[in-house]
Structure 1
């Protein structure tokens, strides 16, 4: 799966030289900067969703997914952790799940 390969690449770049890897550069700036960058990309995706440009939205959504995985890696949360949480929620009404929080 593409997301799994991307997550593995991000994990492999954690120890890379920030001068040669954008991912390593982001991670070297710490979790807070990674979260900030994720937020910026999410806003850009929202703007494209409102504008209705499908191609631009797809591009921005790809940026969001990449930066989400970088942010998770910065806090040592794996894609498998997130997928396990989604599996746990499967079959549960969104309303019921929110009420349990």
Structure 2
């Protein structure tokens, strides 16, 4: 999955709000809950980089990217708006 596909998935989940989705619960709680999850995954990535395998690091980093996409969906930020800042 590309980052672009991940952003699209997050947007779809926000629109559809499937009850079985943990992402739906985050959307219901808003930016504070999404931000906490993003920070948690960033910290886990840092710890994985220092103490775990590259495979675990890749998993943690993929989760950081997902929650970035979720925050983008929550705040209605487009890829172009984010890419302009890179």
Is TM-score (shorter-chain normalized) higher than 0.5? yes
**2-structure distance, mates of 1:72, 1:8:** 10
Gaps of at least 5 residues in structure 1 are: 87-101
- After superposition, the CA RMSD in angstroms is 1.6
Structure 1 position 20, deviation (Å): 2.6
Structure 1 position 23, deviation (Å): 2.2
Per the alignment, residue 56 of structure 1 pairs with 56
Per the alignment, residue 69 of structure 2 pairs with 69
Gaps of at least 5 residues in structure 2 are: none
TM-score (ref. length: structure 1):
0.76
Structure 1 position 18, deviation (Å): 4.6
Deviation larger for 36-45 or 6-15: 6-15
Equivalences, count: 86
